[in-house]
Chain A
């Protein structure tokens, strides 16, 4: 029994001893550690050198943890810690930590620099003419270090079609983004779309193409092999020739018999040859547009 009590006492005294030692160590460490105050930069800009003021004396270890970098180096307290331009390239939140026995930290932000490039998204790449709100563009300015520039800036959008005067418009960025929506022009061809902030320019091209055919007129004649039918030049409602490959469907009715041929437009005109001996009524259609009817008598 007494042996057990002795064992317990030994454990207890050992515990007290270690607590005392631990306390002594902590006290010693705290005595050597100094209070350090950090003065981080209040308006740092990406890619520009800055400095962190320190108070205290002696040497310490300095850490800087930023959006894309962490670094560690020895510094002398009481002197400014210089941060070179390369260490502050990324915009965002930085944590500066100084340790000399005890660690002290401070947080500061680095703002983006001025716009140096731009992401410019334009849709669609091919646009039928005379469509309202069909073309859209989104411009996002970045500085030279790929930081999104969030300070409001005016983006000049300019749409220029062949034979038409440019239509500029200024849009201020909101949350780093400026955008527009516009009607497509009246004539087919390349539409130059440009976004600019001062000397930063981004250009895109939208190919404006004819819309659906507006009307169809056909003509035809009998030949030794059957009937040769062709359209007049097929155009949209703005007078633009429809693209090659637009399908025109010709239908020939002879009593109860009906035959159909699809023909692509080639150089503005669609042509087809149909075999029919009796009197026929021929019609044509493309998309939602119907052409005139053509009545041809029986083959002699």
Chain B
């Protein structure tokens, strides 16, 4: 009888430990879920000039900028510059690739979590071959050395962005952070 009782107690303890372990796993998983969530991007093109942005172009710019940031976050989190291919070109891809490579050399990784981007289109070239955007970005930024977090902040960053049309998408050519617009 005592043995049965002890076994029952052990079983409950094991279940409790298992549930605790599961909860301990789920809590950080829950916090890290936004790391995989897509960036939230909105685009305001009401004050752009000298050319108006066609609705189809507006949708393409929004889509490609959003994918660009998702890829950027993945590249910096996994230290893999390959994720940058396709949506970045020119100076932007050179800088970002260099940043990922130097991150690897320094033994760092970084995370861009819970991204929100408020884009304002400020210039659209007369011939439609260049667009300038102002991005007021908000995200949780973490820098890690191995598994140790050495910097974490809820960052508000302003970016000046130049995008040009490619064969089937808009590519980011310049992604330059500034203190203010």
Contact = CB atoms under 8 A, between A and B. Distances in A.
Interface stretch (A86-94, A164-172, A187-195, A283-291): A86-94
A95 B2 CA distance: 62
Interface string B84-104: 000000010011101100110
Interface string A89-129: 01111010101000101010100000000000101100000
B49 to A, nearest CB: 10
Interface in B32-85: 50
Interface string A173-212: 0111101010000000000000000000000000000000
Given A103-B151, A140-B162, A67 B130 contact: no
Interface stretch (A144-152, A222-230, A256-264, A266-274): A144-152
A132 interface: no
Interface string A62-76: 010111111110000
B94 A179 contact: no
A180 to B, nearest CB: 9
Nearest to A90: B95
B125 A121 contact: yes
Given A175-B123, A181-B50, A65 B176 contact: no
B157 interface: yes
B178 interface: yes
A92 B178 contact: yes
A121 B130 contact: yes
B106 A70 contact: yes
A4 interface: yes
A179 B103 contact: no
Interface in B137-181: 141, 143, 145, 150-151, 153, 157, 160, 162, 174, 176-179, 181
B102 A176 contact: no
B19 to A, nearest CB: 16
B5 interface: yes
Contacts of A138: 125-126, 130
Contacts, number: 111
A96 B79 CA distance: 20
B179 A97 contact: no
Given A105-B151, A121-B125, A68 B177 contact: no
A1 interface: yes
B176 A67 contact: yes
Contacts of B2: 1, 3
Interface size band for B: 35 or more
B115 interface: no
A46 to B, nearest CB: 11
A97 B176 contact: no
A4 B5 contact: yes
A136 interface: yes
B157 A146 contact: no
A70 B160 CA distance: 21
Nearest to B105: A70
Nearest to B99: A68
Given A4-B6, A67-B176, A175-B134, A103 B108 contact: no
B125 A179 contact: yes
A99 B150 contact: yes
Contact of B143 (A63, A68, A69): A63
Contact of B107 (A72, A109, A147): A72
A148 B176 contact: yes
Given A63-B108, A95-B143, A3 B6 contact: yes
A177 B123 contact: yes
B126 A179 contact: yes
Interface of B: 2, 5-6, 9, 50, 91, 94-96, 98-99, 102-103, 105-108, 110, 122-123, 125-127, 129-130, 132, 134, 141, 143, 145, 150-151, 153, 157, 160, 162, 174, 176-179, 181
Interface of A: 1, 3-4, 7, 63, 65-72, 90-93, 95, 97, 99, 103, 105, 107, 109, 121, 123-124, 136, 138, 140, 146-148, 150, 174-177, 179, 181
In the A-B complex, list the 6 residue pairs whose CB atoms are closest, starting with the nearest. Answer: A68-B95, A136-B126, A92-B177, A93-B177, A68-B98, A72-B106
16 contacts: A69-B98, A71-B102, A71-B106, A92-B176, A123-B126, A124-B127, A146-B94, A147-B176, A148-B162, A175-B123, A175-B134, A176-B132, A176-B160, A177-B123, A179-B50, A181-B50
